[in-house]
Amino acid sequence: MDVYALIGNPVEHSLSPPMHEAAYDALDIDARYVTFEPPEDGGAAAIESAATLGVAGLNVTIPFKQQVIEAVDPAPLAARIGAVNTVDFSTSPPTGYNTDATGVVRSFAHHGVSLSGTAVVVGAGGAGRATAFALADEGLTVHVVNRTESKARDLATAVADTGGDAEGHGLDALPDLLPGADLLVNATSVGMEEDASPVPADALHADLAVLDAVYSPIETRLLQDAAAVGATTIDGAWMLLFQGVEAFERWTGEDAPVDEMNDALRKRL
């Protein structure tokens, strides 16, 4: 039996176990998915321990996504983002990937959204970094918008330094940027368990595709505002799903049973 795992702190409320267990059941794979909660400075040590114990694959969440880079060989995209959330132990040293980035891309693709034109990414933290690099790699012009403008500019510079087309702005730029945008991603926690949006509703329009990384609640104020003007809306559970789908496929070499994984995830939301 293969064992896959997640490390995080805290980790007890993770939705990854039921999602991955559903995939094993659907494909009749003899495997289990478990969680571990190392101390907050124990990310790199946890990678070494997992390798010693024969763990087949590992997901990584807060606060370890940056720590574990020193214990793996990061894939090029993960290295540029500066964070790893998926580890493959079939290589030596183990390879680290950032499937948050591919989760964004696959979420848009699943909903038939063309990955072209201009994207506005709200937030310059971990999710914002993964999103900005991922969309720039797809050829979009990326505008990073953040409450602290200097952080948005730093992220945009990092994207541009590796060949992407990106600019950084403060939140006050949103009304000017959104009318010409094709994609919008909220990569902040604004809207989580609160009826609030980081984006002015009157700046939204019907030609936008809007992805909100928040999945609690599943229908955020931003998505409600976007739906009201006829925009395409994608809730945060899709991003969570597809980062897990990507991890599963890298670990097993099998096409993930997306519908079964999605059903298991949404039953827990």
Q: Supply the residues annotated as catalytic.
A: 65
Task: Tell me how many degrees the CA angle 51-253-107 measures, rounded to the nearest 5.
Answer: 100
Contacts of 146 (CB under 8 A, 6+ apart): 122, 123, 124, 128, 152, 155, 168, 169, 170, 171
8 A C-beta contact, residue 105 and residue 253: no
One-letter amino acid of 234: I
Task: Tell me how far apart the alpha carbons of residues 30 and 33 are, in angstroms, rounded to a whole number.
Answer: 11
8 A C-beta contact, residue 140 and residue 164: no
What does the block give as tokens for 243?
A: 């980062």
Contacts of 150 (CB under 8 A, 6+ apart): none
8 A C-beta contact, residue 58 and residue 5: yes
Residue among 109, 108, 156, 150 nearest 132 (CA): 156
